[in-house]
């Protein structure tokens, strides 16, 4: 099987005699047996550490969960600086989670019903692999967009019945946040954990409207001319 890996400006092809193994196994084979300069991130090899997201033929995938076929093109994820080969700057994880206040404010509430617990089960499955961030087209226009993984995380805390107040969290995502999303849904199919950030963003919008926030785009739709 021949696979190509984008290394800087150019793609390099490697021929490997491996069948029915994960892409990560193939890359480990290349690095330890063929070309030790090939550079990529990996960790748990079982889909929970979130280190090994790349793009395969233009679509995000975890290397430890994807089984490659002949002719595949492997590229680093998008919307961030490539450090070397498939390794990228992951500074967006800390930056966007901080600007969106994605944390618990602390709660003494002990009991939570099974049903309430299940409301945040999927969202808290996030492994921060940043596949959704790579797939999001909004970054081409707005590099400060808080984006899918951080907004899902906001919804995970806003929707947690143990949290007493979500006002500050909702306030933090009004600018460069929920209203900047185009709801195109590109983030949904690429999530290895079956999270749907688009849906979580929609929920945050509804909650925001209930709390008295306005969609700035809706105001713009009136032409911005009704200046009473």
Partner 1 sequence: MSKVLIIGSGGAGLVSALSAHESGAEVIVASKTLPTRSQTSMAQGGMNAVLGSDDSIANHITDTLNSSAGLGDENRITFMCEKAPEAIAWCNYIGLPFSRDKEGQIARRRLGGASAPRACYAQDYTGLKLLHTLYDQCLKAGVTFKNERFLLNLIVDEEAKRVLGATFLHIETGEVEEIRADAVILATGGYGNLYGKHSTNSVQASGDGLAAAVRAGAKLADMEFIQFHPTALKGSSILISESARGAGGYLLNAHHERFTDELAPRDVVARAIHDEMAKSGAVFLDIRHLGEEFINHELPQERKLAQIYEEIDPVHELIPIKPSAHYSMGGIEVNAECMSSVKGLFAVGECANHKIHGANRLGGNSLLELVVYGRECGKNATEYGTKNPAPSAESMQLAKDTNFIRGVMYFTNQIDFYQKQEMLANIFYNNVGLVRDDMGLKAVLGAIRQMQKELPFMGPRDKSKICNTNLVEFIEFGNKVELAEIIVVSAISRVESRGAHYRIDAPVRNDRMFGAHTITWKEDGVLCADFMK
Query: Which residue ranges make up the site for partner 1 (CB under 8 A)?
Result: 20, 22, 31-33, 36-37, 39-51, 65, 67, 83-84, 87, 90, 93-94, 97-98, 101-104, 106-108, 110-114, 116-117, 120-121, 124-128, 153, 156-157, 160, 162-163
Contacts with 154 (C-beta within 8 Å, 6 or more apart), sequence order:
100, 101, 102, 169, 172, 173, 200, 204
Residue 129 contacts residue 168 (beta carbons within 8 Å): no
**Tokens 């960790």 belong to which residue?**
43
Minimum gap (Å) between residue 41 Cβ and partner 1: 8
Return the axis-axis angle of helices 91-99 and 147-158, rounded to nearest 10°. 40
Task: Please tell me whether residue 177 adopts helix, strand or coil conformation.
Answer: coil
Minimum gap (Å) between residue 181 Cβ and partner 1: 21
Q: Which is nearer to partner 1, 20 or 227 (CB)?
A: 20
Q: Which is nearer to partner 1, 126 or 132 (CB)?
A: 126
Minimum gap (Å) between residue 183 Cβ and partner 1: 26
Q: Which is nearer to partner 1, 18 or 209 (CB)?
A: 18
Q: How many CB atoms lie within 10 A of CB 203?
A: 18
Minimum gap (Å) between residue 94 Cβ and partner 1: 7
Q: Which is nearer to partner 1, 31 or 59 (CB)?
A: 31
Q: Which is nearer to partner 1, 103 or 182 (CB)?
A: 103
Minimum gap (Å) between residue 109 Cβ and partner 1: 8
**Tokens 């069948």 belong to which residue?**
19
**Beta strand 82-84 pairing with 87-88:** antiparallel
């Amino acid at each position: 099987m021949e696979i190509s890996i984008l290394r800087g400006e150019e793609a390099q092809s490697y021929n490997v005699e491996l069948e029915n193994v994960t892409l990560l196994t193939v890359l480990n084979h290349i690095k330890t047996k063929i070309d030790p300069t090939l550079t990529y991130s990996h960790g748990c090899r079982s889909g929970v550490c979130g280190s090994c997201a790349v793009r395969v033929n233009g679509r995000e995938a975890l290397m430890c969960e994807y089984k490659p076929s002949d002719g595949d093109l492997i590229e680093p994820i998008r919307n961030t600086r490539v450090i070397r080969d498939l390794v990228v700057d992951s500074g967006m994880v800390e930056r966007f989670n901080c600007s969106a206040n994605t944390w618990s404010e602390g709660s003494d509430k002990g009991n939570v019903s099974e049903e309430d617990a299940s409301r945040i089960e999927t969202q808290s499955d996030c492994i921060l692999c940043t596949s959704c961030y790579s797939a999001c087209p909004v970054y081409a226009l707005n590099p400060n967009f808080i984006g899918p993984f951080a907004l899902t995380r906001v919804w995970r805390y806003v929707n947690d019945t143990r949290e007493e107040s979500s006002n500050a969290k909702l306030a933090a995502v009004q600018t460069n946040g929920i209203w900047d999303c185009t709801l195109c849904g590109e983030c949904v199919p690429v999530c290895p954990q079956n999270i749907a950030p688009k849906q979580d963003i929609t929920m945050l919008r509804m909650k925001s409207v209930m709390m008295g926030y306005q969609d700035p785009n809706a105001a713009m739709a009136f032409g911005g001319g009704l200046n009473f």
